[in-house]
Structure 1
């Protein structure tokens, strides 16, 4: 009895080693198997399925992103080509317009020069006619003066 008083343990106390310990151990093991079968495996399966779904979703998303980037690159190239083609069309149109302008300007200049040349020839012709007539009138006037001077003598 002194030994039980020294250690502070009494029968049925805190550290009573009878059949309760193996029974509790068996209950813990049995409860572990039951919980594992009923809760942990289904929950683990759901978690694994979700993990698989997330993994495949991420892989698909990466593939789609790569496809989008490829398409975006192709569209940018097409847009660049379209811009270059449009710029070429604009440049060609500007060159054609400039060519037509120069041709029209040349034609108008040629017509103006021809008209000016025709007017100059007409003026020269009329001047020659006027000079011839003036010369004839001057000769007539000179003859008339000479006749009157000779007649008055």
Structure 2
């Protein structure tokens, strides 16, 4: 999984470096949309699953759900990167990274952009991963004990 993640990151980083640096560039404007979220605040994750249903789940940014059924690290939900200590470009918390984390936790996602449930959320979080620190989304990671959520997403 880490190899796929790093490969995707390198491909995206190459594409971003190749973009014109002018803020007027339509390509740059279309790709860049980073929304910071605060650790400890409640956020709502919304995604479309493989059945075409819209799923929503509200939770706390920075929450620690521990591992999901396939062993993924969900110790800092909303952080752009793996858990609280995995590969990342700073300790950045964004809406798109929160949505991807929540979708992945509940759907046992491991396939990055090609995941049938969370692939779109993964792609939406790519620019957050690369640009979140520059956009001021960096924060201190919380250190909470792992507590699995008591509710599940609503999909319809």
Normalised to the residue count of structure 2, the TM-score between the two structures is: 0.13
Greater relative contact order (CA < 8 Å, ≥ 6 in sequence)? 2
Bigger helix share: 1
Bigger strand share: 2
